[in-house]
Structure 1
Amino acid sequence: MWDAAIAGFSLGLSLIVAIGAQNAFVLRQGLRRAFVLEVALLCALSDATLIAIGVAGFATLADVMPALLPWFRWGGVVFLLAYGARSFLAAWRGGEALEATGAASGNGAGSAVSRWKTLATCAALTFFNPHVYLDTVALTGSISTRYAPHELAFGVGAVIASFTFFFSLAYGARLLAPLFARPAAWRVLDVLIGAVMWAIAAGLILGA
């Protein structure tokens, strides 16, 4: 069970830390200290919901149509290998950095309107991104079947990774921003992400 939870946490964290519009938005809100709790909670709960749908859906599919599982497993292997290769390539190329600036806000008149506008923007960045469904529903759900009968532990691990990342990014923004404004930091992170992806892919291959 613990192996499943750790694998879910590792996969979830590896998928979510890539540079993207959603992460940049969360970082910016953290720097501005504007609606930090609401934004982090919305992102984490959205991820948790999609992960639950993926894990529950693929667990049910495994019971109804077990012959499909090898296809999903090998599809996951291909995706993980490609994702890992992309991370290694990004590390080799370098030049990426995450920037977010802005003055403190979120207080005074109009803050309620700003709050809903902020949350609406955050929701759009989350749910209008097609990759979020591939990562949380399809990939996480299909790989969870590899850890049957501990799919729930795998899903919980992935959910914990989401909460850990988003709250760390939002509340630690002022500490993280100077670090990840440096391309060298993203090189190291991309190498780590690639290594985790390929390690998970190897586990799927060896367990096939």
Structure 2
Amino acid sequence: MYVALLAGFFSGLSLIAAIGAQNAVVLRQGLKREHVGLVVLVCSASDIVLIAAGVAGFSSVTARYPWVTPVMLWGGVAFLLGYGALRFRAAWQGGSALLASSATPASAKRVVLTVLALTWLNPHVYVDTLALLGALSAQYTPYHASFGVGAAVSSVVFFATLGYGARLLAPVLARPKAWVILEIVIGAVMWAIAAGLAVQAMR
């Protein structure tokens, strides 16, 4: 059981630590110190639901209904392109408008909706949690539930560390130019992921 728990923790951590749309937003909110706890909660809760579904065998659903995959792919492409464009626009505006201390705080509702969209409209999340972690958990039967718990704990630890640890970078991002660069990087990540999804959808 403990072996399955540790395997789930490190498997989940290795997948979630990759740079992605969701992580970029958590980092951005952590740097701006806006609704960090709420963002961490939403991301962690979403991951826990998806991991539980994967361990329970959700991959059989996509095998039975193949149209689900392309719908998720193109939906993710559309949203990531739009969100990336917003980040590039913010970088274009530049200057002190991007500073955490001077920027107009986003509402909690807007932040939550953004995080939910980046989570549930991103096909990579389903591949990692539902498909890959679900398949890995089957190797630890009858302790596959422990594997899932380990993966869920890794999600909570990672998002909390990323969200609250981001403030350590605040001195580096005390200049407007640094925020411009950050927004460009986030926008580029969004568009790169969207391009990858589009190529995958056209295969």
So what's the TM-score if we normalise by structure 1? Answer: 0.60
Q: Which residue in the other structure is 2:39 paired with? A: 39
Q: Which residue in the other structure is 1:157 paired with? A: 150
- For 2:21, the aligned partner's letter is A
Q: Which residue in the other structure is 2:50 paired with? A: 50
Among 83, 107, 125, the alignment partner of 1:132 is: 125
- For 1:47, the aligned partner's letter is D
Alignment of 1:80-159 (within 5 A): 102-104=99-101, 114-159=107-152
Aligned-partner SS, 2:100: coil
- For 2:113, the aligned partner's letter is A
Structure 2 unaligned regions, length at least 5: 61-97, 173-177, 179-203
Identity %: 56
Q: Deviations over 1:102-126 (max 9, x none)?
A: 414899xxx7x71101110111111
CA distance in structure 2 between the partners assigned to 1:176 and 1:146 by the alignment: 40
Structure 1 unaligned regions, length at least 5: 62-100, 182-208
CA distance in structure 2 between the partners assigned to 1:5 and 1:153 by the alignment: 5
In 2 relative to 1, CA 32–58 (structure 1 residues): closer, same or farther, beyond 3 Å?
A: closer
Say how many residue pairs are matched.
Answer: 135
The answer on whether the counterparts of 2:33 and 2:167 sit within 8 Å (CA) in structure 1 is no
Q: Which residue in the other structure is 2:3 paired with? A: 3
| Cα drift, residue 22 of structure 1 | 1.0
Q: Deviations over 1:79-135 (max 9, x none)?
A: xxxxxxxxxxxxxxxxxxxxxx7414899xxx7x71101110111111111000000
CA distance in structure 2 between the partners assigned to 1:105 and 1:169 by the alignment: 22
The answer on whether the counterparts of 1:34 and 1:105 sit within 8 Å (CA) in structure 2 is no
Backbone CA RMSD of aligned residues: 2.5
- For 2:116, the aligned partner's letter is A
The answer on whether the counterparts of 1:33 and 1:105 sit within 8 Å (CA) in structure 2 is no
CA distance in structure 2 between the partners assigned to 1:37 and 1:170 by the alignment: 8
In 2 relative to 1, CA 44–104 (structure 1 residues): closer, same or farther, beyond 3 Å?
A: farther
CA distance in structure 2 between the partners assigned to 1:55 and 1:176 by the alignment: 36
In 2 relative to 1, CA 8–176 (structure 1 residues): closer, same or farther, beyond 3 Å?
A: farther
